[in-house]
Structure 1
Amino acid sequence: MHLDDVWLRYRRGGPWVLRDVTARVEPGGIVVVLGRNGAGKSTLLQLIAGVLRPAKGRVTGRPAVVGWVPERFPAEQPSTVDGYLRAMAAVRGLGPAAAGRAVDEWVQRLGLGEFRDVKLPELSKGTAQKVGLAQALLAPPDLLILDEPWEGLDAATRDLVPEIVLEVAARGGSVLVSDHRGETVRLPGAGTWTVADGTLSTAAADTGPRCVVEVAVSAADLAGAVARLREQGHHVLRVREEVGS
């Protein structure tokens, strides 16, 4: 899949949100998309998913089966979890029997069993996010796009996300995932795309030797310090709260 000199803005005459974006998504490749809030990460992922269309340039080679998980799952729908997932399986072209198997698999794997008959608006943010993840995986995706997929998830499901990503890549699917939590450190072999000021810079996976440096920062400056380190190309492995003095 190729992005060739892609430009995007939300209205004619408005500011460019993305400019001169050229990149390639390889089959079986994993890409972590980084950048500050508001830099255009979600816009880029929606463009790749086909939700948005570029004002200039071309997106070519998008595979037939794309699984897209938005940052916030649109839960304002009258369906139950089971009804929604079965409807999405039908949209994916699965027959009733295949749809039932796929729904059962992901309901079980993501711990949604007790919520099957619960209506979407009644779900917590984390449970709704699980439903959003499940719908993207009902048909094995050739391209999986995850926009901050860890938000609101319980610890067990957060640990499952990298496993799912690696499974998709192992089948030859491509995965793009945005992350500001440092969770994607558990995705070996991932390249990085950094969005800043509407432009995109890319870097292949770094397989060279690394050193780990522990840095203590004030709680008030934590978010800014993490953002600065990532902008400089460093990998933030973990953030922990210091206990005691």
Structure 2
Amino acid sequence: MIVNLKSVSKVSNGYPVLQQINLKISKGEAIAIIGHNGSGKSSLLKLIAGIYEPTNGNVERRRVKIGYVPEHFPEGVRFTIEEYLLLIGKISGKQPSELRKKISDYADIFSISSYLQTPLRRCSKGTKQKVGIIQSLLQEPSLLLLDEPITGLDQASQQELVKILRSFKRDKTIVFSAHESVLVDEIADRMIEIEKGRIIADCAVEKQEEKRIIKALIANKQSLKALEGAESVVWEDDKTAIFSVKASQSDQLLQALLQRHCSILQVTERR
């Protein structure tokens, strides 16, 4: 256990934003926090991060390095992107030469290399979002907290973030809020739903087994009658069939098709 919230409530400007929250977060978990706008997702992340302290209740935190990505990047920052990232990295104790290499690598990944000398206040929301993600990654945190991290990101950057978070899951703890299903489906092992400042659901995320789509040129339609393993078959034309099969059974299906003298045209993966 690295964070433990016990009967926590938070009042902001006289309004209860969180009420009677009991939540334990253990090392290695990947947790999605979902809920409507205003439900309390951001406030819960800030409590976990230590940005907020509870009005009532108790929060226990282990001494771990925390990386935090806010939903909205601070306005009016006068630094250029590179200056800002260098400053954040130095605060974390990194050497300038190491930092410049990491900044360059992440800038390439998120396609902002040409903006490194641009003042942050002139950047778009999407670019600021990328900078917010990069500054958290530069800290190499044990606990990574992300508030709506893919909002404003282009599709390519979303995919890159998913890849990075997948690699983080090996030895780090990830907690994020999200409206979109892509991060929940790809990253989360556990899902917490917030409504009106209360946790109304806390459950494991059921993972659907990945499927493969196999496109093949069929030598003899009659030979497919005894074929097993495919969930569905769609005929593209008289000789070309498209099979949907569970990933665990795809090798068996491929072998059966080859034994029937079929030609494999394409194999792709999908959820």
TM interval, shorter chain, is 0.7 to 0.9
RMSD (Å), alpha carbons? 2.2
Q: Which deviates more, 51-60 or 124-133?
A: 51-60
Tell me the residue number matched to 1:212: none
C-alpha distance in 1 between matches for 2:163 and 2:149: 13
Equivalent residues of 2:4, 2:60 under 8 A apart = yes
Structure having the higher strand fraction is 2
**Structure 1, unaligned runs of 5 or more:** 210-237, 239-245
1:95 Cα offset (Å): 2.2
Tell me the residue number matched to 1:28: 28
Compute the TM-score of the two structures, normalised by the length of structure 1: 0.79
Equivalent residues of 2:38, 2:196 under 8 A apart = no
Structure 1 residues 142-192: Cα deviation after superposition (integer angstroms, max 9, x where no partner): 11111111111111001112212222111x211111111222244255210
**Structure 2, unaligned runs of 5 or more:** 210-270
Describe the SS at the equivalent of 1:89. Answer: helix
1:156 partnered with 2:129: no
Equivalent residues of 1:189, 1:207 under 8 A apart = no
Tell me the residue number matched to 1:177: 176
Match of 1:4 among 6, 10, 20: 6
Runs of 4+, deviation exceeding 4 Å: none
Letter in 1 for 2:192: W
C-alpha distance in 1 between matches for 2:114 and 2:33: 33
The structure-2 alpha-carbon separation of the partners of 1:208 and 1:135, relative to structure 1 and needing over 3 Å to count, comes to: closer
C-alpha distance in 1 between matches for 2:164 and 2:185: 12
Compute the TM-score of the two structures, normalised by the length of structure 2: 0.72
The structure-2 alpha-carbon separation of the partners of 1:98 and 1:59, relative to structure 1 and needing over 3 Å to count, comes to: farther
Tell me the residue number matched to 2:205: 205
C-alpha distance in 2 between matches for 1:188 and 1:100: 29
Higher relative contact order (CA 8 A, sep 6+): 1
Q: Could you say which structure has the larger radius of gyration?
A: 2
**Percent of aligned positions that are identical:** 30
Tell me the residue number matched to 1:50: 50
C-alpha distance in 2 between matches for 1:152 and 1:188: 19
- The correspondence of residues 1-245 of structure 1 with structure 2, limited to 5 A, is 1-11=3-13, 14-170=14-170, 172-188=171-187, 190-200=189-199, 201-207=201-207
C-alpha distance in 1 between matches for 2:187 and 2:153: 22
C-alpha distance in 1 between matches for 2:117 and 2:188: 39
